[in-house]
Structure 1
Amino acid sequence: MPLNPFEAIVIGSGATGGVAAMTLAEAGLRVLVVEAGPNRSIAEAFGREPGNSVKRAEGLLSGRHRRQARHPGYWKQNPDLYADERQYPYSTPDDQPFLWTQGRQVGGRSLTWGGITLRLSDYEFQGADQDGYGQNWPITHADLDPHYSALEQLFEVRGGRDGLEQLPDGRTAPAIPFMPEEERFRELLTKERGIPFIHSRGFEAHQRSETSLWPRSSSNGSSLQRALATGRVEILSNSMAERLDMDPAGERASAVVVVNRSTGERQRLECNLVVVCASTIATLRFLLQSERQAISGGFNDPSGLLGKGVMDHVSCCRFFSVASETGRGAAQQSDPSSTLSGAGSFFLPFGNAPEVCAGRPFLRGYGIWGAINRFDPPWWLKRNPDRRLGFLIGHGEVLSDIRNQVCLSERCDPLNVPMPHISCRWRANENAMVRDMQDTIEDCINVAGGVTTSLADQLNLPLVKPLVGKALAAQEDAPPPGYYIHEVGGAAMGASEEHSVVDRWNRLWRCPNVLVVDGACWPSSGWQSPTLTMMAITRRACQAAVTPGSD
């Protein structure tokens, strides 16, 4: 394949990479998508049992998945969708663990994404106006609204229209009905506490068919597929983007240097536009490696903030049980739409509304995601087959702090590229928020007549109990940063080059033909699941890049 006739290079092929390729190709550009991992077939991507379980055992014993195995998704998906940590290493301070989940294949982490699609509100975009902390975003909900809407319709997102200022409504298909136990939970919380209780918004559980092989929540089954259909997109897989090459004046990127993962050969790929969406940590490593402090002739970051202000969502989880309203049988067997999914679940969207946050001993807010009777094991495996299992998970906004950062390690990966060093920890505000989350969750369970329990105690499987009991989701305290795979920040967008890394159109201030559109560009984290907003930002930035006079 000739590799130099392309007008744009997109780095990464996941949720944002797929949207970038689709948007640019549909505008008429010839696009090369660079992906560090392989281009797997459907059979290779999803595997089957018992083969997936064998590979999990091998991944743990070999050290390939020592950290990533701590995420629940690892135990229900093909472990090949989780990167080999020996090939993609990173480091952290001994007292600051960070769980970086990496999806190194065409489709990236969109192949393991839970599919929740929530919009951010102006309480997040303009959060500094509310409490004086940090920086506002240089955009508002109105700037992203047409892009949110276009993507929701493309993806056939499902959800309700709830009229909440803290969670703007989307252009969604009808919501998936609540399970009877969820409906009862809603009635009690609404009556006793007046808590908003809404249908989650997102993708329904994927049902494979001849016309829908890949999940629509994956770029392979949606945006990237549509991009490839234009005939103007090629994918270069098994090639990691190492750094930018700049023009002699150091004001524009002239090429991307990529490393072939099989041979170690480096290649210079020329283009007019570079869109960086490799996922937050990988994007920061690429930018740090391209900045002039790391390489002679690199781009200039006048803010000095590149890599600083990394965030995730701080979280806590509680499992509980309620009396069954539907007998002992598994509802999912007769109704696949009742399976736990981005749309098949519910939210308690407290958010950042001032009336909600007033009087709390912390800044910003959180929401609680939950479900009941959507993931029950067979009744004969349950200690009490007449009760249904549920969970509540709090996701809270983390404050941007320059001490939470990514820098380049002195150690290199197997391709001789400096690996990222991640320093990130929960601080006083996050710890206070988690305590409030825990109290709120316990109160909700009690009001609804539930019984707080551990997942392990619900199963008649003594050999499994020690493994489940050690899972981070089952612990009392908040899991470490990275656990919920919502990391953002480090190359924040803003209104001036003194206080941000990219401008309001996601362009590097001193290198405007490079767009940073994934989570790295976020100046604050919000509490909502971030992927839909990342994709909306990508669509907006790419459209502007190919539209004359859009600045």
Structure 2
Amino acid sequence: MYNSQKTKEQNTYDAIVIGSGISGGWAAMELCKKGFKTLLLERGRDVKHIADYPTANLNPWDFKYGLNNTLKDQEMDPVQSNSYNPGTKHFYVSDAEHPYIQDQPFHWLRGYQVGGRSLVWGRQCYRMSDLDFEANIKDGIAVDWPIRYKDLAPWYSHVESFIGVSGQKENLPHLPDGEFLPAMELNYIEKHLADSLKKNEENRLLTIARVANLTRGWDHRGPCQNRNLCDRGCPFGGYFSSNSSTIPAAMATGNLTLRPFSIVTEVLYEEQSHRAKGVRIIDALSNEVYEFYSKILFINASTIATAGLLLNSVSSRFPNGFGNDSEQIGHNLMDHHSSAGAYGLHDQFKDYYYKGRRPCGFLIPRFRNLKENEGLNFKRGYNIQGHGERQEWTDLSHNLNGFGKDFKKQLTSPGDWTIWMAGWGECLPYFENQITLDNTQKDKWGQPLIKIDFSFKDNENKMMQDIQKTSAEMLEHAGFKGVEVFNYKKAGGSTVHEMGTARMGHDEKTSVLNKFNQMHNAKNVFITDGSAMTSSSCQNPSLTYMALTARACEFAYQQLKKGDL
């Protein structure tokens, strides 16, 4: 490592952002637009919008084994292969090359490239409400959120107005409406279920999902082509990703320096100023070590990696990890459960069909524990996500017999309408759900392996039972036949909503960050990825990460102007 004064000056920036995924891309754009010379560090390869989407226009038959993973894929990538297929595999890490330790089964799904998992996310965008922000203090669980909906509402609008979110306004206080593009359309069986809920179910409604898929052209992107191939990268820019939106916007300012293949191993602390002075990295290709310096630091490496980085950054001031006076870093890990639900068939409406491959399903917003004393045996709640469709030949072929023309006609005739629906449920913040570092086992760069200890507990399991019950009832009331409940019992991490390992809070003794995502113990460090979450709500969380990021960037900018950073 060569640290001459000239080299230090060349490696000094106004701001450093670690991680280029959904929140890191936002941090880079906001800081660059405010005039900060910003270094964006990504541990993986560069991925350029359109140019680096090699499978975007391929058909299933263009792949050697269709869209099926091989036995070798499953052997080499026992975790990642649960989420990828041959069309998306290149956007996921190799489990063999990037190991971690599971005390209990936990699926840590990762994409080490510029854009991170913004290339493969589900794109569902829901605001949290005061039902969520006040839940911990009302239930006496964990610590209170240091913010309320009014603090974040204008930043939700700020983000939605940039990324483009299609959706339907429903005027629900616990699921606030946003700045929406025209909504996508429910199909016939989904409309039927929606009508049934209006007639039979108090406080329940079915609406189209709110997604960052563009239903009209938007800021030189889109519109969505209804190909439903989003996770291969969209050459039309039909959905929001760092690659199609925030990173190009940051680049356009002339203030961004993007450095891929940069594994950040340590946050560097300066005793005299009580601040972070920069970061140490390993070049993933050359194994050379470099240091970079900045006035402010945004850590957006994703929940588990962010906590791992902080725990690995030890000094005489922080022997237990950077900024860890509260000893909360790594704890309170959460992920939504999405294993339980129901499925059914409807033998009517056979004169109706649909067209296109709509890239989202429907949403039944939370309807449990909206009021106190509902008499349920679990706290918090869940929303239900699902989709309706006609059975296709792959669903029917095992029950069909025949040959020739008649058999072909059977195969090409749509079957019954079906609906599949499952609950996305809140996970409580448990101190014992945590990540730690194993200093006896190292990766190929000599860094300690991350160890994850996580399980869903009694409250989540009781909630899953209720999801099965209510899902089946709603289908039966709507005339569905052969209704079956299910619980896939998926491992933690499978919903890919991990959060909570460096939570926000009022008190620096019990939390890592303040209400502006600013580290209590180092005022020029901000963390705005999922680590910051104090509770998990049941809404898909990425919109909240983006809103928190934009808000924190404005706060950092104002603090620097005042000379307080």
Give the TM-score normalised by the residue count of structure 1: 0.87
Structure-to-structure mapping, 1:264-413, within 5 angstroms = 264-292=287-315, 299-315=322-338, 316-323=340-347, 325=349, 327=351, 331-332=354-355, 336=356, 339-341=358-360, 344-350=361-367, 352-354=369-371, 358-373=374-389, 385-410=414-439, 411-413=441-443
1:149 is matched with 157
CA shift, 1:155, in A, is: 1.6
Say if 1:445 and 1:452, in contact at 8 Å, map to a contact too.
no
Q: How big is each residue's C-alpha offset from its partner over 1:289-336, in whole Å with a ceiling of 9 and x where there is no partner?
A: 11448976963422111111101112224333334636486x33xxx3
Q: 1:225 to 1:188 in 2, by over 3 A?
A: same
Say if 1:10 and 1:275, in contact at 8 Å, map to a contact too.
yes
Q: 1:377 to 1:521 in 2, by over 3 A?
A: farther
Q: Pick the aligned partner of 2:542 from 512, 531, 547.
A: 531
Q: Pick the aligned partner of 2:93 from 71, 83, 97.
A: 83
Q: 1:293 to 1:321 in 2, by over 3 A?
A: farther
Larger Rg: 2
Q: Pick the aligned partner of 1:39 from 37, 40, 46.
A: 46
> Aligned partners of 1:203 and 1:249: how far apart in 2?
45
Q: How big is each residue's C-alpha offset from its partner over 1:28-70, in whole Å with a ceiling of 9 and x where there is no partner?
A: 1111111111113435435245348589746844744211212
Say if 1:352 and 1:366, in contact at 8 Å, map to a contact too.
no
1:197 is matched with 206
Say if 1:59 and 1:66, in contact at 8 Å, map to a contact too.
no
1:181 matches 2:205:
no
Partner of 2:97, secondary structure, is coil
CA shift, 1:158, in A, is: 1.0
**1:528 corresponds to which letter in structure 2?**
Q
Say if 1:367 and 1:394, in contact at 8 Å, map to a contact too.
yes
Q: How many residues align?
A: 520
Partner of 1:10, secondary structure, is strand
Q: 1:297 to 1:491 in 2, by over 3 A?
A: closer
Say if 1:55 and 1:79, in contact at 8 Å, map to a contact too.
no
CA shift, 1:487, in A, is: 0.7
**2:91 corresponds to which letter in structure 1?**
L
Say if 1:314 and 1:396, in contact at 8 Å, map to a contact too.
yes
Q: Which runs of 5+ in 1 are unaligned?
A: 455-473
Q: 1:259 to 1:58 in 2, by over 3 A?
A: farther
CA shift, 1:491, in A, is: 0.5
Partner of 1:39, secondary structure, is coil
> Aligned partners of 1:63 and 1:6: how far apart in 2?
43
> Aligned partners of 2:313 and 2:71: how far apart in 1?
33
Deviates more, 1:180-189 or 1:194-203: 194-203
1:228 matches 2:251:
yes
CA shift, 1:86, in A, is: 2.2
Partner of 1:178, secondary structure, is coil
1:65 matches 2:77:
yes
> Aligned partners of 1:349 and 1:386: how far apart in 2?
31
1:446 matches 2:470:
no
Q: 1:37 to 1:76 in 2, by over 3 A?
A: same
Q: Pick the aligned partner of 2:174 from 166, 175, 178.
A: 166
2:28 is matched with 21
Q: Pick the aligned partner of 1:12 from 3, 15, 19.
A: 19
> Aligned partners of 2:68 and 2:530: how far apart in 1?
29
Partner of 2:28, secondary structure, is helix
Say if 1:15 and 1:535, in contact at 8 Å, map to a contact too.
yes
> Aligned partners of 1:419 and 1:250: how far apart in 2?
31
Q: Pick the aligned partner of 2:110 from 99, 102, 106.
A: 102
Say if 1:379 and 1:385, in contact at 8 Å, map to a contact too.
no
Q: 1:378 to 1:57 in 2, by over 3 A?
A: closer
**2:16 corresponds to which letter in structure 1?**
I
Say if 2:311 and 2:320, in contact at 8 Å, map to a contact too.
no
Q: How big is each residue's C-alpha offset from its partner over 1:382-427, in whole Å with a ceiling of 9 and x where there is no partner?
A: 8683313322120111111111000111211111111210000011
Q: Pick the aligned partner of 1:255 from 269, 278, 281.
A: 278
Structure-to-structure mapping, 1:232-243, within 5 angstroms = 232-243=255-266
Partner of 2:102, secondary structure, is coil
Q: How big is each residue's C-alpha offset from its partner over 1:75-102, in whole Å with a ceiling of 9 and x where there is no partner?
A: 3741111111122211011xx1000110
Q: Pick the aligned partner of 1:121 from 115, 122, 129.
A: 129
Say if 2:366 and 2:381, in contact at 8 Å, map to a contact too.
no
CA shift, 1:249, in A, is: 3.2
**1:319 corresponds to which letter in structure 2?**
Y
Q: Which runs of 5+ in 2 are unaligned?
A: 1-6, 215-223, 400-412
